[in-house]
Structure 1
Amino acid sequence: MTESTRKRSRIACVSCQSRKRKCSGDQPCSTCLQFGVDCQYDLLSRKKKDTRSFRPQLSVPPLSATTAREEPVPKSHRKDPATPSASLPYSSLEANSGAAFVRKLALKIDPANAPRLHLFAWNVGTRHPLPPPMNPPPTIPAVSIVDIVSQDKMRLLATTYFEKVDPCYGFISRDYLYHQVGRRWLPPTAENALSYGPYDAVLCGVAAFGFLFSRRQATPAEYQLAEAARLILDQYMLADASSSVEIITAWVLRVAYLRMTVTPDFAWMASCSLMHLVEATDLHREPSPDTTLALTSQLCDPEVRRRLFCMARHLNVWISFELGRSRVVLHGASSVPPAPRPTGEIFNLLPVSESLDPNKVQDSSDLESIMFNVLEVVHTLPPNILAQCNLMLCIYRRLRTLDFVISGSILDRVLALSKTGLQAARTMVASLCPWHHIANVPFQIICTLLSIDSRASLALLGEAMQTLREVVLAYDTDVMREAYNTAYLLILLHNRRKEEDTNALRDVLRANGAGAAPRMEISEPIAEPNHSLADYPGFSWLSDLVVDMPSLQNFDLEGFMATDATWPLAESGV
């Protein structure tokens, strides 16, 4: 029997028997673990030969943010069978993961109908109906940027970049870039002409960002620019040549662009490659006369070097955190923080971000102190506000794993910053700024509000859904439609649970009302619901949602629709 052959258990748990499902024989079994239900075995009613050979193994569910299904846990990660299984431990790497938080929230609301583990709203998704061109062999030379866009177009795209991206991601000298643009479009015979080389990758990256932040739909030119930058960087990697500041700059642009446009795994691997290139070029160390650097341009501005290193760290840290993956830590780093700008930058949040390393042991008091420090900072730029909000949500998720309840003034400030973040997201949608946080933060805010489940948090839920809806209307992609429909489904399940709780309380009052208040007269009888959710017109979109979304394949729509309860009329969808 091979390792991949399924081992059939001689005995099934009570839940799997009643549902007629295959049982793994673990304690709890994989099926009960998936749906979050109690797993019990009725050993007394089984044959003796079955019960003698039955040895249930305690198992722990993996929480990988990018797996399409939950795989069996390796033996090295399983709990000791002697260890009590009252609560399942949270893997350290997954402590910061938004995907794991959403999964646990959904299991708490409705274990049977919870969406699968999935990283929703990673970014706004692919903005063009056609897929990007296939990667050609690296031996094919990259297309020159002068053959893709004109000089005037390049200047317009660079202006868009410096107006919308540079205030948050500031690591390129504006004067130097415009100087290089003037040289690059000169005739090749000109004395000061800039020939094809590594700086073309920088220009292509800036131009691709210019298209990304000026159009809701991608154009072929944007894909050509992104592909040209990739080919240049691949050629320099294969050439085994020493990397330069230009190559590192182009890599930072590429990883930042991928974070906003492609799938999580691809962006994470690119961010790790960027960190290894930074280490290979000693960009993480402060230059000194006694240090021989691998950089080809030792005259690089030290401030630019520091900003490049901070950008590489920022991208790798947060992509790793959100996926529940390991980040790249460069030992011996001596680079000092860059000088802050008056408007504030994303770099100011980097020390706090790195302090949330899930491998560090932190109790609730430490995290509460970090939360307080994050809430104290006031940002004015919308991208920085959303970055601050994302950091606050991450800390909240960490506190929830420790069963710590946020209340009082800190909870009020959490809700206030969430409201500010929603306003910032709508501002960026209106100004054509598709930062990844305009998708991720509103979705995570919705999940956080449902998790808090207070009157104040639920009052903000409508604004959060409206914000997510505006993102969907602006960027009508598969990723955004999936995120909106999933958020709607979580609220629907939450509402169903509230209805069931209300009905239970109503039954208690109805059964005991005569004895508690004999003189109380009810003028009108309480109407009993006599219809189901399926009776509402236009609700067929939910059935289509279950079919189209892989993350909802386990959703029991027929059982859900058969429940007799009063439900609000659902929207027709986006």
Structure 2
Amino acid sequence: MGSSLLSPATVQNDLAAKRQQQEQQTNPAALAGLLLKALEANSGAAFARRLNPKNDVAGAPKLHLFGWNVGARYPTPEWAQALASVKSRPVVEIINQDEMRSLANIFFERVDPCYPFIDRETLLRQISRRWLPASSESLGFGPYDTVLCGVAAFGCLFSRRRATPMELQLIESARSILEQSLQSEPLSPVETVTGWVLRVAYLRMTATAHAAWMASCSLMHLIEATGMHIEPSSNTALDIASTTESCNPETRRRLFAMARHLNVWISFELGRSRVVLQGATSLPPSPRQLGSTPGFTADPATTTDIFNLLPVSESLDPNEAQDVSNLEIALTDVLDIIYTQPHLILVQCNLMLCIYRRLRALNSIITGDLLDRVLALSGKGLKAVSELVAVNSPWHQIANVPFQVVCTLLAIDNRASLAMLRDSMHALHEVASAYDTEVMREAYTTAYLMIVMHQRRKEEDIQMLRDVLQLNPSVSVPTDTPIRESAVQSDHTLMDYPGFSWLSDILVDIPSLRDFDMEPV
């Protein structure tokens, strides 16, 4: 009405909001609640739990990190027995030089474009040196063995869908040497840190979340012990930078950045504390021009890499105060980045989904162009999943991103998001088919159940509207008015996989879902 006067109710509401804000800033319980919300928003598992709290019923698998990775590399008891019998051996006793060079080529083709922390020329020189005939260098364990074993293990991981005894031997040898390195000052700090980065990255793709988190924390403490977080030129009273002064500055910065990236995201996804090194002076790594990767269409002029996302990732620490405006700016910044390689697109998509969850935790509703861009990047991420599955690149995001996209689409719950559910389930189905593991079957069936429950709620809403219309039977609807019922359709069924009987138990235990046919028509 053009009046500048506020109603008493409006004034009262404003005062109440200010009092609540002041209380949250001073009340320990309120601060703890905000911290818990941030922790849960960072964790994809907690997001799925809050999205469908009815999943917590008897018979359902514990809502752990669905889609944490594609599943255990050694899933059967036979493999566990084989792993227990493996003994640590020098790398030259496990594989020959030709095999090492072949596996190293796979590493630099598939892994290095996303995780660029090893200099290729240095590695190739070390390979030539390690396999020198009849020399002291080729006897016993070498200082570079952890790096060679780690690189070779990644070569196996990205070239074979199933582990081989050779891969087991490589991993066990690297683990044994690295764990012994924690008992004393490392003789070769750069090689030791590089080996630990390889181990943590390998565990992130193949092991349990707890194992990966523990290893990532050990890596961060090793970084501090060797001074890799300190620029050699920094003025410090502690003589901790001397151990890495001979290391190439760019290599040292990339190792520190990789350690931070792995620890930050593993901690976020588990809702646990990350390791923050006080007094770090390391500069950001210089952007590296990425060349084309076999099997992918890449822009050779691309200069962005994974380290560009570190500042935004670390700003999402639950202990850091974040308001809606800052998160929306961060979301826009992430969406503005243009990646062309599929593995980097998935890293970007994962960060975008995390920021979206943080905004939802603050009860912020994203609409308009920004929401359209969120959906567009989600669709781009789903395509990247299919590309990586096709070339046997088991990045952990190929499992995590499509599952989290399903959760996000259901949370958005509009026509545009529901229309993308088919593509997201198709991508998740592709991963589960390529890597037929227990965790992938659980991720797929859980996503399926979430859609079933969402569809059932929609049907209950439609029934309530019908009840309202039946109260007004005399009102006629024009014959040319189209009336359609929308339903989520899928070309995948739970019969695609064994072990889905627990879903039937859930449907029986939830009254509103009794007698509901799980299989799509």
Alignment TM-score > 0.5, same fold: yes
Displacement of 1:239 in angstroms is 4.3
1:322 counterpart = 2:269? yes
List aligned pairs for 1:274-353, cutoff 5 A: 274-288=219-233, 292-293=239-240, 296=243, 298-343=245-290, 344-353=304-313
Match of 1:463 in 2: 423
Could you list the per-position Cα deviations for residues 386-428 of structure 1 after superposition, in whole angstroms to 9, with x for gaps in the alignment?
Answer: 0000000000000010111110000000000000000111101
The alpha-carbon distance between structure 1 residues 241 and 174, as it changes in their structure 2 partners (threshold 3 A), is closer
Displacement of 1:198 in angstroms is 2.5
Contact 1:184 1:194 in 2 (8 A): no
1:179 counterpart = 2:125? yes
Contact 2:90 2:142 in 1 (8 A): no
The alpha-carbon distance between structure 1 residues 141 and 482, as it changes in their structure 2 partners (threshold 3 A), is closer
The alpha-carbon distance between structure 1 residues 562 and 389, as it changes in their structure 2 partners (threshold 3 A), is closer
Match of 1:425 in 2: 385
Q: Which structure has more RCO (C-alpha within 8 Å, separation ≥ 6)?
A: 2
CA distance in 2, matches of 1:402, 1:97: 15
1:220 counterpart = 2:165? yes
CA distance in 1, matches of 2:34, 2:273: 21
List aligned pairs for 1:150-165, cutoff 5 A: 150-165=96-111
Q: What's the TM-score once normalised by structure 1's chain length?
A: 0.75
Could you list the per-position Cα deviations for residues 415-454 of structure 1 after superposition, in whole angstroms to 9, with x for gaps in the alignment?
Answer: 0000000011110100111000000000000000000000
CA distance in 2, matches of 1:416, 1:287: 43
Displacement of 1:141 in angstroms is 7.3
CA distance in 2, matches of 1:564, 1:289: 69
Match of 2:514 in 1: 563
Match of 1:484 in 2: 444
> Which residue identity does 2:274 align to in structure 1?
R
Contact 1:202 1:249 in 2 (8 A): yes
The alpha-carbon distance between structure 1 residues 134 and 91, as it changes in their structure 2 partners (threshold 3 A), is farther
> Which residue identity does 2:209 align to in structure 1?
P
Comparing 383-392 with 288-297, greater Cα deviation is found at 288-297
CA distance in 2, matches of 1:226, 1:115: 30
CA distance in 2, matches of 1:100, 1:278: 30
CA distance in 1, matches of 2:415, 2:344: 28
Match of 1:411 in 2: 371
Match of 2:150 in 1: 205
Match of 2:356 in 1: 396
Aligned length in residues:
466
Contact 1:287 1:293 in 2 (8 A): no
The alpha-carbon distance between structure 1 residues 88 and 489, as it changes in their structure 2 partners (threshold 3 A), is farther
Given candidates 453, 457, 461, the residue that maps to 1:497 is 457
The alpha-carbon distance between structure 1 residues 561 and 104, as it changes in their structure 2 partners (threshold 3 A), is closer
The alpha-carbon distance between structure 1 residues 558 and 274, as it changes in their structure 2 partners (threshold 3 A), is closer
The SS at the match of 1:409 is helix
The alpha-carbon distance between structure 1 residues 342 and 239, as it changes in their structure 2 partners (threshold 3 A), is closer
CA distance in 2, matches of 1:165, 1:354: 23
Contact 2:230 2:241 in 1 (8 A): no
Displacement of 1:506 in angstroms is 1.4
Contact 2:67 2:439 in 1 (8 A): yes
Comparing 417-426 with 90-99, greater Cα deviation is found at 90-99
Match of 1:245 in 2: 190
The SS at the match of 2:360 is helix
1:443 counterpart = 2:403? yes
Match of 2:213 in 1: 268
> Which residue identity does 2:514 align to in structure 1?
T
The SS at the match of 1:361 is coil
Larger radius of gyration: 1
Could you list the per-position Cα deviations for residues 341-366 of structure 1 after superposition, in whole angstroms to 9, with x for gaps in the alignment?
Answer: 12321111101101111111111111
Given candidates 45, 50, 63, the residue that maps to 1:99 is 45
CA distance in 2, matches of 1:454, 1:298: 55
The SS at the match of 2:42 is coil
1:196 counterpart = 2:156? no
Displacement of 1:503 in angstroms is 1.4
The SS at the match of 2:52 is helix
CA distance in 2, matches of 1:300, 1:194: 25
RMSD: 3.2
> Which residue identity does 1:262 align to in structure 2?
A
Could you list the per-position Cα deviations for residues 41-91 of structure 1 after superposition, in whole angstroms to 9, with x for gaps in the alignment?
Answer: xxxxxxxxxxxxxxxxxxxxxxxxxxxxxxxxxxx99789xxxxxx99844
CA distance in 1, matches of 2:135, 2:393: 39
> Which residue identity does 1:310 align to in structure 2?
A
Contact 2:229 2:281 in 1 (8 A): yes
The SS at the match of 1:95 is helix
CA distance in 1, matches of 2:505, 2:272: 26
Contact 1:95 1:358 in 2 (8 A): no
Displacement of 1:220 in angstroms is 1.2
CA distance in 1, matches of 2:90, 2:498: 49
The alpha-carbon distance between structure 1 residues 498 and 195, as it changes in their structure 2 partners (threshold 3 A), is same
Displacement of 1:277 in angstroms is 0.3
Contact 2:507 2:514 in 1 (8 A): no
The SS at the match of 1:285 is coil
Displacement of 1:556 in angstroms is 4.8
Displacement of 1:163 in angstroms is 0.5
CA distance in 2, matches of 1:181, 1:197: 11
1:375 counterpart = 2:335? yes
Comparing 91-100 with 486-495, greater Cα deviation is found at 91-100
Displacement of 1:295 in angstroms is 5.7
Contact 2:230 2:282 in 1 (8 A): yes
Comparing 234-243 with 436-445, greater Cα deviation is found at 234-243
CA distance in 2, matches of 1:112, 1:503: 26
The SS at the match of 1:359 is coil
Contact 1:204 1:225 in 2 (8 A): yes
Displacement of 1:242 in angstroms is 5.0
Displacement of 1:136 in angstroms is 6.7
Contact 1:242 1:295 in 2 (8 A): no
CA distance in 2, matches of 1:89, 1:498: 33
The alpha-carbon distance between structure 1 residues 89 and 258, as it changes in their structure 2 partners (threshold 3 A), is closer
Contact 2:508 2:514 in 1 (8 A): no
The alpha-carbon distance between structure 1 residues 319 and 246, as it changes in their structure 2 partners (threshold 3 A), is same
CA distance in 1, matches of 2:111, 2:98: 20
Could you list the per-position Cα deviations for residues 305-330 of structure 1 after superposition, in whole angstroms to 9, with x for gaps in the alignment?
Answer: 00000000000000001110000000
The alpha-carbon distance between structure 1 residues 349 and 209, as it changes in their structure 2 partners (threshold 3 A), is same
Displacement of 1:182 in angstroms is 0.9
CA distance in 2, matches of 1:384, 1:351: 16
CA distance in 2, matches of 1:539, 1:183: 53
> Which residue identity does 1:352 align to in structure 2?
V
Contact 1:539 1:570 in 2 (8 A): no
> Which residue identity does 1:154 align to in structure 2?
M
Could you list the per-position Cα deviations for residues 90-137 of structure 1 after superposition, in whole angstroms to 9, with x for gaps in the alignment?
Answer: 444333111111001012x77879875321110001134434458779
The SS at the match of 2:500 is helix
